[in-house]
Structures are given as structure tokens and as C-alpha cells.
A and B are shown apart, each in its own frame.
Chain A
Amino acid sequence: MSVPFDLRLEDVFSGMELSEVVFGPVERADIVRYAGAAGDFNPIHIDDAYAQGAGAPTAFAMGMLPAGYLAHAVSDWFGGPQHLRRFRVRFLTRVWPGDEIVCWGRVDEIEGRLVKVRFEADRRGPGPRELELPEREPALSGDADVEPA
């Protein structure tokens, strides 16, 4: 992993860029594993025939899977998940089997001990051929408040 990780309050300044963290590529098995762990058995994430009936070329990941990766990245930036006070994500587009998830962020401002960050998770990969997706595009955006050591 590249630096900086495990940031402490004295290391942080507004506008600071946070190191890119890459997860995946997301495989079918990762989606099934998350379905079982979370209890999310919506067939649109598991069953291609069902997804096609709903107008998607294949099954695709539940948003909370890359959201979990993003929470992991924010936790690593600031010394662990116990420093999180608030975490929010918005889902912008679907994540497909074979996509990598590229997490990156920036420190927005510092209020006392509270550090406010903004971040994004991009999907990077070919996607289903029929959709002609860009090679990389924002899949989730979000913000968080952390209280680093």
C-alpha cells in the first residue's frame, strides 16, 4: 500500500489527497459471498436470466458491496473503522462482474477533532459489451466524518 494511511489528526490538512485504494476485480463469487454474508438474495445480483428479464445484460453487484470496500478504504486512511463517526454513499451507476473498484478521496475541512472527507469509488473495466460503457466512471460518491487519533 502507498502512503498516506493511518493518518493522525496532526498529519491532516484541508485539500489533502487520500491514497487510491483498488479492490477487485469483482467476481461472481464475490457477489454471491456478499449476498450470503448480508442476507441480500435479490436474484438480480445472482441470476443472469432474472437480470435479463429486468432489462440488464447480466447480473450485477449490489451497491453495498463496493460501499463496503469504500468504508474499508476510509477506515484504512484514518487508522481503522473505530475512527468513523459518519459515513454516507450515493449510488451512481451499476458495478458489473469483472469491474475493479478504485477508491480515492480528499480532506474537505477540519472542525476541531472532526475531519470531513469526500470520496468516490469508480468502476474500471469493460462492462457488458452491449452497454458500451466507458472504461472508467464514478459508481459511488460519498462523504464521511472521522475522528482520527
Chain B
Amino acid sequence: MGVGERAPGSEAEIVFELPVERGKVREFALAVAEDNPIHYYVEEARKRGLPDIVAPPTFTVTQMWQVPREERERRLGANLAYERVLHGEQEFFYQRLPVAGEVLTGRMRIASDISKQGRRGGVMRVVTYESVFTDASGAEVLRALYTLMELPPP
């Protein structure tokens, strides 16, 4: 298959659940060395007007538990050569932070897929996956852009 071509029959988007559990929020907060008590203690979160502990800003990367790379590749069909792939950029747009106890719905799709001339020759491919997370009322909570760069073959 050539550059930028989709595997036949690939899906336009993957819909998945992202449960925001207290234990998982605390585990992730520890992993990024968070010391803000609103990620650990319900009382501290409530003192600041939050309903429960909240997830750190980059928490939704835990969607890798819900949609592992192999499943993402099989269903969205970007057909990337992973031995040459780097994580180039990551961006989040927040309406609010996820709150422990809620279950978000994620919708992941390929937002853009461009090929350009690499700085050292050959064609570099830049693929951006967008995941939009909504709450039980259907309101958007946050949006994440995950950008991968596929380097030209050696």
C-alpha cells in the first residue's frame, strides 16, 4: 500500500468508554509527580468547588488501555510503519477536567494525514489522531490531538 492509503474497509471513528476511576486518577497523578491534593483527596477537591478528585491534564492518554495501538491501527487503518514512527506533538483543549466517578465517551478518528518532503530527503508522513471526550450529558469535556511522524525509510 502506498503512502497515505487506507486499508480497505477501515472505520471512520472508534467509539470507546473512558471510566475516570479514583484509583486510576491517583495512580496517574503519582506517575507524573503531581503533588496537588485535588488529584488525591476528595475533601481537598470539594474545598475548591470540585465534585470529586479531578484527573491531571494529560490523563486521557490512558485511553491506550481502552484502545491499544494494534486495535487503533486495525480499525482506523493509518497503516504506519511503527519502527519509523515518533510521537511528534500532543495537544489538549479543555472545557473542564475529567472528574472521578464519571464515564467519558471517546470518539477517535484520523483528523489529518499529510505527506511532506523530509529535511534529510524522502517523504515524511504526519498523522494526527483526534479524540473528543464527552460526558453523560453529551457535553464536550476535552479534545486531544495525538500527532505521529513516520520518518522516511532508511
From B33, B48, B93, A23 is in contact (CB under 8 Å) with: B33
Cβ-Cβ contact count across A and B, 8 Å cutoff:
103
> A80 on the interface (CB 8 Å rule)?
yes
The answer on a CB contact under 8 Å between A91 and B91 is no
The answer on a CB contact under 8 Å between B33 and A87 is no
Interface size on A, residues (CB 8 A): 32
Complex interface: chain A residues within 8 A of B8 (CB): none
From A30, A54, A84, B94 is in contact (CB under 8 Å) with: A84
The answer on a CB contact under 8 Å between B97 and A91 is no
> A3 on the interface (CB 8 Å rule)?
no
Complex interface: chain A residues within 8 A of B31 (CB): 30, 33-34, 36-38, 65, 68
The answer on a CB contact under 8 Å between B94 and A37 is no
> B36 on the interface (CB 8 Å rule)?
yes
Give complex CA distance A85, B142 in Å.
9
Of the four ranges (under 10, 10 to 19, 20 to 34, 35 or more), the interface on chain B belongs to 20 to 34
What string of 1s and 0s marks CB contacts (under 8 Å) between A56-89 and chain B? 0000001111011101100110001110111111
Complex interface: chain B residues within 8 A of A91 (CB): 86-90
29 A-B Cβ contacts within 8 A?
A30-B33, A33-B30, A38-B31, A39-B63, A40-B61, A40-B64, A64-B58, A65-B31, A65-B32, A68-B56, A71-B32, A71-B56, A72-B34, A72-B56, A80-B36, A80-B48, A81-B36, A81-B57, A82-B38, A82-B48, A82-B54, A82-B96, A84-B57, A85-B94, A86-B94, A88-B89, A89-B89, A89-B91, A91-B90
CB within 8 Å of B: which residues of A?
Answer: 23, 30, 33-34, 36-40, 54, 62-65, 67-69, 71-72, 75-76, 80-82, 84-91
